[in-house]
Amino acid sequence: MTELLSTTPAQAHVQALTQALTEFGPATEIATDWGIKLAGALSSGSRLLVAGNGGSAAQAQHLSAEIVGRYHSDRRPFSAVALHSEPSALTAILNDYGIEEVFARQVQAHGRPGDICVLMSTSGRSPNLVAAAIRARDCGLRTWAMTGPVPNPLAAAADEVLPICCPATATVQELHLVALHLVCEAMDAELIRLAGAELAESGAAP
């Protein structure tokens, strides 16, 4: 059998993903920390706002669905809004205020101090997401960015960042999906721990 002299696109894709996974350790720690913080915030009545463009918009909406619905075990729903998911508001803001305001104006409208705003961008250079991060900070929200390689403007504008240091956009998106699932897993585990702590404090039987 003749040996292949070049790597196929599929092989190159898998190799890039495999290499990125070997460097994913720090992202695991960040995602776990975010899940723990998210459990505390949502349990206290705070809201999650999420946004992204293109493929990152789909992943942001995936995250909001996991929060309002459930990730694994049944639990009560929590408030999460994907800012790109209301076309009428999105296009009205775009038409009247320009593309940089499409998320920032919604953050200002829906966000309250103590809420969490998660912004997802493979490049970290989308002006509308950077503007949303700045507006979130001005409004007293905690801002978390999931990006590709750092440094980038979105990471600089956010309070915390989970970077995927890989040049391939597809690989960054794939590992963002892994990271958001880790956030959900850590959040569910922390919710169970908090519920147990409340039972212990009340003296109720588990």
pLDDT tens across 67-80, in order? 999 999 899 999 99
* pLDDT (mean) for 89-96: 97
* pLDDT (mean) for 181-190: 97
Percent of the chain with pLDDT over 70: 94
**Paired residues of 146 in beta bridges:** 120, 162
- The enclosing H or E element of 147 equals strand 142-147
Residue 193: pLDDT over 80 = yes
pLDDT band at 4 (very low <50, low <70, confident <90, very high): very low
Distance CA 72, CA 74 (A): 7
Q: Which CATH architecture has domain 43-189?
A: 3-Layer(aba) Sandwich (3.40)
pTM of the model: 0.91
Distance CA 32, CA 38 (A): 10
pLDDT band at 197 (very low <50, low <70, confident <90, very high): confident
How much is the pLDDT for 97? 98
Cis peptide before 163 (omega within 30 of 0): no
How much is the pLDDT for 7? 85
